[in-house]
Chain A
């Protein structure tokens, strides 16, 4: 029986973080660091003809100015994916450290390295750049048109990638008489992660190597990218990841680590620090792909799908970053969530002159769920069917197996989750009560489900390594390559380690910092993989450590290993339950033995060739003030089947955070660009409307715990799923309240004003 897994133990880092003692990148950087500031492009597309550095170089405190004409001629990839040995599956290498061909308003042109921030900022302002401007394009579908300038030399029509899915015969199937056709175009916005700590890093050279300390989710991957970008062998790079203030996928990319490392090498290996401002974070890091999705469904009047068409145009922005994987994941969900025999699906990732889109919590699924689940309610309206009944009839059934991933839906998850959600929000009563309202203020309830899968197998490698080192007192340190980014994995892992080794929770010490010189390999925080994947290597390493301990116990007690156990930090003789000695005594004797001294450690790598579905749903209740064009979110419930909960309190907190993100995605957040210049308009936290506490109802997180059979701990994804279904649930609730079926998010007062006027609900 697990003693710690399944309990809401306090976070292992709670005290350090709550008291401000936890050290982040900037806390660790010595005050002697030189400061790097970037000059960003002030045009959306063109070439840098020259950079006049003369004035900047005369400013007191400016140490060095480096421009796009100084960087090594190396293009490198930035995506936080495991490296692929297959050249066709490697990430697209399309960036330079600084760029002569600038592809968006905010691209990196030059850097000023100075003794302090003020001198660096003055230096950047003193640089004079001459550009040759090219026409630019902000919209992915326009970017595919004839005559639009190519943003990357090797990408005609600016299409980074196009993939499709074909099943059955769509064209033939739609000939069936009596079918009902439902069509819609659905738009999701460019949004940014808005983690608390902006990305930053510092770098210096030591013993012929470059050391980088970075606010990143993926230390081992960034080490590789720094090596690639600088053209040095990877062993010459050491990367450290301390505590970080969130990432949500933005830091699942190499951001400015390569540039910062290179800057250090250009000033004799001196310590240099590069910290992004919030304004830079919005534009010059990564954003979520804005995706326009076109769906046509053909149904029989009884609510059976006959054929479906899906097209998605994903705004990749200026650089490939995570590339096509994001929209491809969204498209992949489409045929699975509502299985249908006749399908035509196409997904396009298209370059535009906007910030590079990368990974962001949900990785294409929040976009796909907004389109797909809004469309389901559009279908229900056309068929006059109940939205829950329709979903019960058509959603992926228990026992479904996906041919590619071999994932299986082992339980009746969707019905269980919807039942729990309906009960929590009192859906049936409210749905009935809110039908056919009149008056200026109306209420509505809505539902949406989501599809998600855990980790990245079989698309990419899944492996994780763990090391455990026993101390003289019987406590241990453990470390993995998987990163604590605020989500609580250090705590969940500590619970797993305590149970798997057989020692008290307080005797488990997690090494939170990853240092690529010391920490065994793991790929980091993404794909909601860590609790699932890390569980394998922890279980396996604990087993190896226990084996060593019990062998030593045999040496020390002469009892056969088969009659020994380690329980709660005590060596037990199984046959009579007698405590033979404490683990601390065993470790002391082992280490200081004059006959056979042993330092007790274990380290293993687990490769994982499974993946797990992690499904659930959202329910939302809204109150719409029609004359004021305002939505008040009254109630919101998320229900998740993420398998067995490792730490219920942390799981609940994870869900709350995801729901909050979904609220902003659905109602208020959107990065805007000036049509005339491509300049970002609202890249700050005042004008970019991240929702606040006062915009949130009391968030309710519920769980259905069907233990995942492929996981040693019965667990599966919960990092990203909470962000996936909230927005369409809100949209569907607004539709029930007002009869207005909005097909774009965020559903701001501006959008509602236009929609309500069109619907005749308001007049001027």
Chain B
């Protein structure tokens, strides 16, 4: 039994926006795997809810005319994992969200909910950061697109304006073309867990597979919001593929990340795991891209 004041159900994006305008204090609910847990804990006791879960137009993965991958915000984790476009162009995202919770959560949880929560541990977030994803937001003034990096404001807070809902996550062609990535979720158990540290790396190699043209790396739980490791990326970009490069790349992440001490894990431990994970994820990404080291 949940302590809720009202539930408004939107049948379309327009209806959702209208409900958002009419009930500015209401909480958006999609799959409910986070919101209902918080309500049960009494954190949102007496809340009004706007459910967008019935808006089928926000489900599914498609490719736009310019090649951009469009992931509807209500697409469930399990649908993302099994989607052919995802598997072809950004398989690592499917692998990352396949590590969320358990099967039931992956069937109900959505990528829009995962990102709108604004938590650093979200399994989709580090990969979306590493692939320069764009967040599409629809509000009373129309549609706006924002790099995911700017969407995350601080822990638990995203840049969702009054009246807006998130309608899609976009991956530009320039981001995914000829690019291969690997995600390492470091958690205390192999299922039903949140990440102690999430590490997502992707690389684009030169045609002869000998040089790193571009590498990108993002972490979850290495700071209050997901973050990119710019020093590490600069260390690897343009360099010849080698074990030494993997080592230098992984050591360089120390300059970029700032994990905290908490009862869940110490800063030193997270730093250590970040370096090791960066190395392993880099090596695996290079291997997936056809490189040898």
Contacts and interface: CB of A to CB of B under 8 A. Distances in A.
A117 B189 contact: no
Interface string B181-197: 00000101111111010
Contacts of A685: 192
A695 B188 CA distance: 10
A117 B4 CA distance: 12
A692 B191 contact: yes
B49 interface: no
B276 interface: yes
A155 interface: no
Interface residues of B, number: 26
B1 interface: yes
Interface in A710-764: 748-750, 753, 762, 764
B186 A628 contact: yes
Contacts of B193: 686, 689
Nearest to A119: B3
Interface stretch (B171-179, B200-208, B259-267): B259-267
A30 interface: no
Contacts of B273: 628-629, 749
Given A749-B269, A764-B268, A121 B190 contact: no
Contacts of A695: 189-191
B122 to A, nearest CB: 14
B263 A681 contact: yes
Nearest to A673: B263
A121 B276 contact: no
Contacts of A692: 102, 189-192
B11 interface: no
Contacts of A681: 263
B168 to A, nearest CB: 29
Contact of B188 (A748, A753, A762): A748
A122 interface: yes
B276 A627 contact: yes
Interface in A620-671: 627-629, 668
B45 A122 contact: yes
A528 to B, nearest CB: 28
Contacts of B265: 750
Contact of B45 (A125, A672, A749, A750): A125
B264 A687 contact: yes
Contacts of B192: 685-686, 692
B266 A121 contact: no
Given A687-B264, A753-B269, A121 B42 contact: yes
Interface string A20-44: 0000000000000000000000000
B74 interface: no
Contact of A694 (B189, B196, B263, B268): B189
B270 to A, nearest CB: 10
A687 B37 CA distance: 14
A629 B102 CA distance: 24
Interface string B43-74: 00100000000000000000000000000000
Interface in B32-48: 42, 45
Nearest to A120: B1
B271 interface: yes
Contacts of A686: 192-194
Interface secondary structure of B, over-half rule:
loop
- Among B264, B272, B275, find the residue whose CB has the most chain A CB atoms closer than 10 A: B272
Contacts of A551: none
A582 B113 CA distance: 68
Interface string B270-293: 011101100000000000000000
A668 to B, nearest CB: 6
A430 to B, nearest CB: 23
Contact of B3 (A122, A687, A762): A122
A762 B189 contact: no
Contacts of A749: 188, 196, 269, 273
Contact of A674 (B45, B188, B263, B268): B263
Nearest to A118: B3
A691 interface: yes
Nearest to B269: A753
B263 A121 contact: no
Interface residues of A, number: 29
Interface string B21-33: 0000000000000
A691 B189 CA distance: 7
A125 B102 CA distance: 32
Interface in A683-716: 685-687, 689, 691-695
A662 B269 CA distance: 26
A507 interface: no
B269 A750 contact: yes
Contacts of B266: 750
A694 B42 CA distance: 32
B1 A693 contact: no
Interface in A506-548: none
Contacts of A762: 272
Contacts of B1: 116-118
A692 B191 CA distance: 7
Interface in B130-170: none
Contacts of A116: 1
A686 B196 CA distance: 12
Contacts of A764: 268, 271-272, 275
Contacts of B2: 118
Nearest to B262: A681
Interface in A206-246: none
Given A668-B189, A694-B190, A695-B190, A121 B45 contact: yes
A685 B194 CA distance: 11
A668 B188 contact: yes
B39 to A, nearest CB: 10
Contacts of A689: 188-189, 193
Nearest to B184: A628
Given A118-B1, A686-B192, A628 B271 contact: no
B272 A753 contact: yes
B99 to A, nearest CB: 10
A628 B270 CA distance: 11
A627 B274 CA distance: 11
A691 B42 CA distance: 27
Contacts of A121: 3, 42, 45
Nearest to B187: A689
Contacts of A122: 3, 45
A672 B272 contact: no
Contacts of A118: 1-3
Nearest to A674: B263
A3 B268 CA distance: 63
Interface string A114-131: 001110011001000000
A748 B186 CA distance: 13
A168 B276 CA distance: 54
A121 B268 CA distance: 40
A544 B288 CA distance: 75
A748 B196 CA distance: 13
A296 B191 CA distance: 40
Contacts of B263: 672, 674, 681-682
A761 to B, nearest CB: 12
B271 to A, nearest CB: 7
Contacts of A750: 265-266, 269
Given A118-B1, A753-B269, A764-B268, A125 B190 contact: no
Contacts of B194: 686
Contacts of B271: 764
24 contacts: A116-B1, A118-B1, A121-B3, A121-B45, A628-B273, A629-B272, A672-B263, A674-B263, A681-B263, A686-B192, A689-B189, A692-B190, A692-B191, A693-B191, A694-B190, A695-B189, A748-B188, A749-B196, A749-B269, A749-B273, A750-B265, A762-B272, A764-B272, A764-B275
Given A118-B1, A118-B2, 4 more contacts: A122-B45, A691-B189, A694-B190, A695-B189
Q: Which 8 A-B pairs have the closest CB atoms?
A: A694-B190, A117-B1, A694-B191, A692-B191, A118-B3, A627-B276, A689-B188, A753-B269
